[in-house]
Structure 1
Amino acid sequence: MKLNKDRETLDEAIHLIQYAFLKKNDLKKDINFMSRYEHSDGYGTFHGGKLASYIMSNHFESKIFDQEVKMSGIGYVSSYPENRGHGDVSKLMKEILKDLNETGVSLSNLAPWSETFYRQYGYENSIYQKRYSIDPAMFRYFKSPKTGRVLRGDWSNSKLKELIIKLYQNQINSGQERNTVIRRKWWWDRLETYYPGRYAVVYVDDNQIPQAYMFYRFLNNKFKVDEIYYTDEVSATALLNFIGGHISTCTEFEIEAPEDSLIDEYFPDQSGLKITTHPYMMSRIVDFAKIVSAVKFISERSVNLEVLDDQICPWNTGVWHLVNDSDHVSCIKTIDKPDFAGSITNWTKVLLGHLTLEQAVSLGLIKALSSKKIEFMAGKVSFYDYF
């Protein structure tokens, strides 16, 4: 059931979360927890008058190319051990997805503790991240930029904050993002408290225009970059040179970057790079028509796509007729035969993940039922948010 936001319910939710996630601090005084709580709906199950299971659904928006769509960020999924196995979390997940659809929320993202567990509710891997582990010797190739300069500080520095948000907004509004969280003020404000001791760096050109930034931390002897964004070679190598300035104090260097990152191409010698790609977030398409309308496709003016047997969100099941009118895609249900058919999870891999339709067909994940040839624009995820 959807929970009231009163003191008693908050106390019970906090006790459960503290037990399930081994948290020792007072969450009522934890600004990071309370900011999420204030921008969320809570769902829970009671047994014997006591809260036994809990799920938080945060209110976000995601950018999918040119469209903003409402997105639910699922977190703090928890049950007391004596209550596990009763199906309470399953009932809550189904209730949440039903409520999301009724309130116009088209999408849900989460960081899974078990991919197979969430896949049964229609979630699928969609957002991946690339990790670079770099031998310190590899930074010797980068020199200080001849133009522009690097500014360093932390999130309390209002000038840096302004420059970083400007770069972020430029990319978010570029029409290239594919399920990237739109950071509102309350979410930006959490950065300072959620990552205490984290630093920020901005590279500005000779005209004082920001061209790159990154967030980084020191974890013992490791220099860890949590987020990096750059617009060209000069700005990218300026950041790499700045990182290399720490080889006398750090023995390990790690960069978390977008899946499509090619920053390794700036290294003249790549033998000291270890590059891995790993799943970061799963997505659940709550409203197929809304999501597919936001994703542009090419080659054909119209196409029929079938969602096969979406039992959790049955309103998605059926054949959908898409028409591509220049910069707008319309989508309505039809009784005509489909050109392509697949499950909601496999459509997620194509529409929001990193598979092309051709790849999905080749893998047998999507069935091609006609001679039509289309491809969806790939897009990218440039910024990563954990919840």
Structure 2
Amino acid sequence: MKLKKNQENLKQIASLIKYAFGKNNNLLHDNNFMSRYDHSNGYGFFNDDKLTSYIMVNKFKSEVFGHHVPMAGIGYVASYPEYRGQGHISKLMKEILNDLHDEGIPFTNLAPFSESFYRHYGFSNSIYQKEYRFSCGALRPFKLPRTGHVIRGKWDDLMVQNGVIQLYERQLHTDDERNTVIREAWWWNRMDTYYHNRNIAVYIDSNGRPISYLIYRIQGDVFLADELYSITAKGLVALLGFMGSHAGAIKEFRMTLPEHSLIGELFPEQNQLKISLHPYMMSRIVDFAKMITYMKPLQEGTFNLEVISDDQCPWNIGVWQMTNKDGKVSCKQIEDGLVDFSGPITAWTQVLLGRLSMMDAVKLGLITDYRIKKLEFKKGDVSFYDYF
């Protein structure tokens, strides 16, 4: 059931989350937890007036190819161990998906503790991270910039903050993002306090324009680059030089960047880099017809797309006629008509919100093509990562 926001429910929520996630502090006095709770809806299952299972839902706007699309971030999925396996989470998840559909929120994201667990609810892997690990020797070719300058500070430094937000907003207006959170002020502030001791460096060019920024932490002798963004190659080199200026005190550097990052090509000795790709977020399409209208098909015309299965959101099942004409995409359900492509909702999520192309999905047997029509969707990028 959807929980009312009152002190008794809050106390029970805090107790359950504290136990399930091994937190040591009093969540009722934790600004990070409370800021998220204040901007959330909660769903819970009770047994004899005791809250035994809980799910938190935060509502965001997400950038999807130039559209500001409502999106739900699901987190704090928890049950006491003695009540697990009784189907409580399944009931709550079904209620959440029904509510999201009624509220016009067409998709949701979450960070999975188990991918197979969430696949039962129609989620698919959609967002990946690329991690670079290297020692200080790999940064020797990079120097601090000779023109322009780097400013360093905390999030409450307005000059630093303005530089970051200008660059962040600039990327969101490129219409290239396919599933990227539009960060509101409360979320920016929560990110700053959630990750302790974060620093920010912004490279300003000789004309006074912010070109790149780096959000980072130093833990012992490890330099953690949590977010690195630049609008030019020079901006990347400037911040790599800034990172290199820490070489005397740092043993290892770790950069977590978007999957499409090619920053490794700037290193003259790439064999010094350890590069790995990790699944990060899973997504779930709640309203297939609505999500189709936000996509960017590469071919014009009319295509009949079939969702063959969706246990939690049965309204998605059926044949949907997508028309792409003059850059505008429309979608309607049809009763008759030859199907061009068909697949379960999980496969369509991988194609529409993930990195999988239609051609690759067909090759993998996730999507079936019936009429040999060519159809691809613009893939776009996820340039910034958020954790729910």
Coarse TM-score class (shorter-chain normalised): over 0.9
- Would the aligned equivalents of 1:319 and 1:337 in 2 still touch at CA under 8 Å? no
1:158 corresponds to? 158
**Does the CA contact (< 8 Å) of 1:285 and 1:348 recur in 2?**
yes
Q: Distance in 2 between matches of 1:291 and 1:219?
A: 41
Distance (whole Å) between structure 2 residues aligned to residue 210 and residue 321 of structure 1: 45
Please say if 1:286 is aligned against 2:286.
Answer: yes
Determine the C-alpha separation between the residues in 2 that align with 1:142 and 1:302: 51
- For residues 192-245 of structure 1, give each alpha carbon's deviation from its aligned partner in whole angstroms, at most 9, with x where no partner exists: 311221100111111111111010001111001000101111001001111111
Match of 2:380 in 1: 379
State the match for 1:324 in structure 2: 324
Kept after mapping to 2: 8 A contact 1:129/1:278 = yes
Alignment of 1:134-149 (within 5 A): 134-149=134-149
Would you say the 8 A contact 1:300–1:373 is kept in 2?
no
Structure 1 gap segments, 5+ residues each: none
CA contact (8 A) 2:144 2:239 kept: no
Match of 1:202 in 2: 202
Q: Is the 8 A contact 1:71 1:108 kept in 2?
A: yes
The answer to whether the Cα contact below 8 Å between 2:67 and 2:294 also exists between their aligned partners in 1 is: yes
| Unpaired stretches in structure 2, ≥5 consecutive residues | none
Q: Following TM superposition, by how much is the alpha carbon of 1:313 offset from its aligned partner in structure 2, in angstroms? A: 0.3
Name the structure 2 match of 1:258: 258
Q: C-alpha separation between the residues in 1 aligned to 2:27 and 2:188?
A: 20
| Aligned sequence identity (%) | 52
Q: Deviation of residue 184 (structure 1)?
A: 0.6
Match of 1:111 in 2: 111
Q: AA paired with 1:370?
A: R
Amino acid at match of 2:226: D
CA distance in 2 between partners of 1:64 and 1:358 (Å): 21
TM-score (norm 2): 0.98
Once the two structures are superposed, the pairs formed by residues 179-258 of structure 1 within 5 Å of their partners are 179-258=179-258
For 2:235 and 2:325, the matched residues in 1 are separated by: 37
Cα RMSD of the aligned pairs, angstroms, is 0.9
Which residue is equivalent to 1:12?
12
The letter for the 1-side match of 2:371 is: S
Task: For 1:303-342, list aligned pairs within 5 A.
Answer: 303-335=303-335, 336-342=337-343
CA contact (8 A) 1:40 1:56 kept: yes
SS in 1 for 2:309: coil
Mapped contact 1:300–1:372 kept (Cα < 8 A): no
Secondary structure, aligned partner of 1:163: helix
Equivalent positions of 1:38-53 (< 5 A) are: 38-53=38-53
Conserved 8 A contact 1:62-1:179: yes
Whole-Å separation in 2 of the counterparts to 1:340 and 1:148: 52
Distance in 2, matches of 1:311 and 1:86, equals: 18
**CA deviation after TM superposition for structure 1 residue 81, in Å:** 1.1
**2:75 and 2:110 in contact (8 A); partners too:** yes
1:243 aligned partner, one-letter code: M
Provide the TM-score with structure 1 as the length reference: 0.98
Distance in 1 (CA, whole Å) between partners of 2:299 and 2:74 is 36
Give 4+ residue runs of structure 1 displaced > 4 Å after superposition: none
Superposed CA offset, 1:104-159 (max 9, x none): 11111000000000001000000000000013211111123232211111111111
List aligned pairs for 1:114-129, cutoff 5 A: 114-129=114-129
SS of the equivalent of 1:189 reads helix
Separation (CA, whole Å) in 2 of partners of 1:169 and 1:43: 33
Amino acid of the structure 2 residue aligned with 1:380? D
2:291 aligns to what SS in structure 1?
Answer: helix
1:133 counterpart SS class: strand
CA distance in 2, matches of 1:354, 1:309: 21
Aligned to 1:69: 69
Question: How far, CA to CA, are the matches of 1:299 and 1:292 in structure 2?
Answer: 14
Is the 2:123–2:346 Cα contact (8 Å) retained in structure 1?
yes
Q: Is the contact between residue 177 and residue 382 of structure 1 (CA under 8 Å) also seen in structure 2?
A: yes
Count of matched residue positions in the alignment of Structure 1 and Structure 2: 387
SS of corresponding position for 1:28 = helix
SS of corresponding position for 2:34: helix
Using the TM superposition, give the Cα deviation of residue 28 of structure 1 relative to its aligned residue in structure 2, in angstroms. 1.2
Deviation at 1:7, TM superposition (A): 0.6
Read off the aligned partner of 2:258 and give its amino acid letter: P
State the SS of the aligned residue for 2:140: helix
